[in-house]
Chain A
Amino acid sequence: AQSVTQLGSHVSVSEGALVLLRCNYSSSVPPYLFWYVQYPNQGLQLLLKYTSAATLVKGINGFEAEFKKSETSFHLTKPSAHMSDAAEYFCAVSPLGYSTLTFGKGTMLLVSP
C-alpha cells in the first residue's frame, strides 16, 4: 500500500520565517499528493494538490509545494509564517485510479512571535 512519511512531528518557526514541512511518498508510480491543514477541533482543509500537472503547485494562504520525482518528495513551504498558520498539517496520498486518501502522521506547526 502506498504511504507518505512526514519528517518531524513538530516544527517551530518564528513569525516571518520560512516554513518547510517535509513529506516523502513511497511509490514507484507517482501518485496524487495532497496537503491538508487542521485547526483544533475542526475538520481538514485542502491547501493544495499534485495531480500530474505542474510540479510546482500553489495553494491557499501563500503555501506552495514542489513535486520531485527523483527525491519522492512533496515538501510544503511558505516564505513568511504568520501566527494564524499554527495548526496540524497532513500530507496525504492517493494511488492513481483510487479515490481513497491515506494520511501521514501529521506535523504540528508552532509559530512564535
Chain B
Amino acid sequence: DTEVTQTPKHLVMGMTNKKSLKCEQHMGHRAMYWYKQKAKKPPELMFVYSYEKLSINESVPSRFSPECPNSSLLNLHLHALQPEDSALYLCASSQEAGTANYGYTFGSGTRLTVV
C-alpha cells in the first residue's frame, strides 16, 4: 500500500457544525502533515506530527484541532469554521521525521466548503 487515503473527498458544513477530516496511511511513515490550499495558491503547512506527537503548529486558529490516534491515522476536527476556511485540505506523510529526504506522499485531499 503506497497511498495516503483522505475521507471524505467533499464536505459542506455550516458555521455552527462540527465535522472531522480523516487521513490514513499504511506505509509505516513516521511523520504526517496537514496542509491547506486555497484556490490558485500553493499548499500552506498547518500541522506536523512526528511519531504521533504534534511537533509543529503553524499558528492555526483553535477552530482547527488535529489528532493522531495512532501511527497510521490523522484526523482534523473542525468546529465553528468561517467561510474563508473553505479550501482543499491535504494530508501528507513522509518516511522519516526530522527530514524531508524522501519527499512526501500526498492524499487527494478533502474539498471543504463552509456555508
Q: Taking CB as reference atom, which chain A residue is nearest B9?
A: A41
Tell me if A24 counts as interface (CB < 8 A to partner B): no
Segment of B59-67, B76-84, B91-99 engaged in the interface with chain A: B91-99
Asked if residues B42 and A99 are in contact (CB atoms below 8 Å), the reply is no
Tell me if A112 counts as interface (CB < 8 A to partner B): no
Asked if residues B103 and A105 are in contact (CB atoms below 8 Å), the reply is no
C-alpha spacing A24/B108, complex, angstroms: 27
C-alpha spacing A41/B6, complex, angstroms: 13
Q: Taking CB as reference atom, which chain B residue is nearest A90?
A: B42
Asked if residues B101 and A32 are in contact (CB atoms below 8 Å), the reply is yes
Segment of A15-23, A44-52, A62-70 engaged in the interface with chain B: A44-52
Q: Taking CB as reference atom, which chain A residue is nearest B95?
A: A99
Asked if residues B42 and A32 are in contact (CB atoms below 8 Å), the reply is no
B interface residue count range (under 10 / 10 to 19 / 20 to 34 / 35 or more): 20 to 34
C-alpha spacing A77/B43, complex, angstroms: 23
Asked if residues B109 and A49 are in contact (CB atoms below 8 Å), the reply is no
Number of cross-chain contacts by CB at 8 Å: 65
Q: Which of A45, A102, A103, A104 has the most CB of B within 10 A?
A: A103
**Count of interface residues, chain A, beta-carbon cutoff 8 Å:** 24
Within 8 A of A (CB), among B43-64: 43, 45, 48, 50, 56
C-alpha spacing A99/B29, complex, angstroms: 12
Q: Which of B33, B56, B106, B107 has the most CB of A within 10 A?
A: B106
Tell me if B90 counts as interface (CB < 8 A to partner A): yes
Asked if residues B106 and A44 are in contact (CB atoms below 8 Å), the reply is yes
User: CB-defined interface of A75-111 with B at 8 Å, one 1/0 digit per residue?
Assistant: 0000000000000001000101111111111100000
Tell me if A113 counts as interface (CB < 8 A to partner B): no
| Residues from chain B with Cβ under 8 Å of A36 in the complex | 106
| Residues from chain A with Cβ under 8 Å of B106 in the complex | 36, 43-45
Tell me if A34 counts as interface (CB < 8 A to partner B): yes
Residues of B within 8 A of A (CB): 4, 6, 31, 33, 41-43, 45, 48, 50, 56, 88, 90, 92, 94, 96-101, 103-109, 111
Q: 8 shortest A-B CB distances, which residue pairs?
A: A94-B100, A103-B42, A43-B106, A43-B108, A44-B106, A46-B103, A99-B100, A49-B103
